[in-house]
Amino acid sequence: MDRNRVEAYRLALFGRLVMGVAHEIDNHLSVVLGFAELIQLPGGKEGKVADGASKILAAGDRISALVKQYARYVRPHEPAPELFSPAEMVPEILLFARYDVTRGGVAFDLGEVPPGAVSADRRDVALALMAILFNASEAVMAREGGKVSLRVERRGADWCFRVEDNGAPVDPSLLPRFLEEGFTTKGEGHQGLGLAVAAHLCAGWGGRLDLSPLPGGGLSAALVVPGR
């Protein structure tokens, strides 16, 4: 898989996230507009203006941070390692990815992210992780009580981002094919690129993507990033 294919997938995936970004921005704009209207009302002006201005500035800061984070992760680039904290990266991408991951009533559970730093391409690790999350979400979206979980763990010097879902039972013999470009069990409309892109990016930084079926149905996908 060449880099152009990866970047085309990045743009397609982030195109899906526009609704989530719009949803978050709309929430904060409601605060801006609501307190702007409140300030205009007569009576008790001094305290009202101070409180309203504070709320407006806070909402504006959140909108600015959201747009900057989205721009950081969507921008095509040549991979380059950097030192970053998963405890910062994971909440950043979930800020605009959670909306899409939880479509169709999917429940999402995030465990505590341990402190520490990773040396890898931050945007590519994020892309691989989001690809795995969306694959898991799609696997359970049509199922009542569908659940997706994300756990970030230290394994010695290595980091493991483990995504699990409670989707349909997985045939273990098909697991190697899940990492092939274009292979999918989800039917028409699915390109079968997410796990293939994640595995390709893993190989680029010396990591790996471990897949295993879960008892009772569903898949465990562990994105392993080697420590530095």
Amino acid making up residue 150: L
Written as six digits, the tokens of 77 are 């680039």
* Residue 214: Cβ-neighbour burial (10 angstroms; 0-12, 13-18, 19+): middle
Are residues 62 and 90 both part of a single domain? no
> What domain range includes position 147?
80-225
Task: Please determine, for residue 112, whether its predicted confidence score (pLDDT) is greater than 90.
Answer: yes
The confidence score (pLDDT) of residue 186 equals 63
CA–CA gap between residue 147 and residue 106 (Å, rounded): 6
Quick one: 60 and 29 in the same domain?
yes
The domain boundary, picked from 25, 43, 73, lies at: 73
**Final residue before a domain boundary, out of 30, 52, 73:** 73
pLDDT of 16: 80
* pLDDT tens digits, 124-163: 999 999 999 999 998 898 677 799 999 999 988 899 999 9
Whether residues 150 and 210 share a domain: the answer is yes
The pLDDT confidence band at residue 110, using thresholds 50, 70 and 90, is very high
**How does pLDDT run across 159-193, given as a tens digit for each residue?**
999 999 998 888 899 888 888 887 676 655 556 68
* Shared domain check, 135 and 43: no
Residue type, 155: R
Looking at the structure, do residues 53 and 95 belong to the same domain, yes or no?
Answer: no
Q: Is residue 2 part of a domain?
A: no
CB of 28 closer than 8 Å to CB of 59: yes
The pLDDT of residue 204 is above 70: yes
Q: What average pLDDT does range 69-97 have in this prediction?
A: 91
Q: Phi, psi at residue 178, to the nearest 5°?
A: -60, -25
Same domain, 21 and 109: no
Mean pLDDT of 36-55: 67
Sign of CA dihedral 108, 114, 115, 121: negative
CATH number at residue 22: 1.10.287
Q: Which residues contact 158 (CB under 8 A, 6 or more apart)?
A: 207, 224, 225, 226, 227
pTM, to two decimals: 0.85
pLDDT at position 34: 75
108 and 221 both lie in a single domain: yes
Q: Mark whether 65 and 100 lie in a shared domain.
A: no
Do 102 and 148 fall within a single domain? yes
155 and 47 share one domain: no
Q: How far, in Å, CA of 101 to CA of 17, rounded?
A: 10
Q: What is the pLDDT of residue 193?
A: 81
CATH number of the domain where residue 125 is located = 3.30.565.10
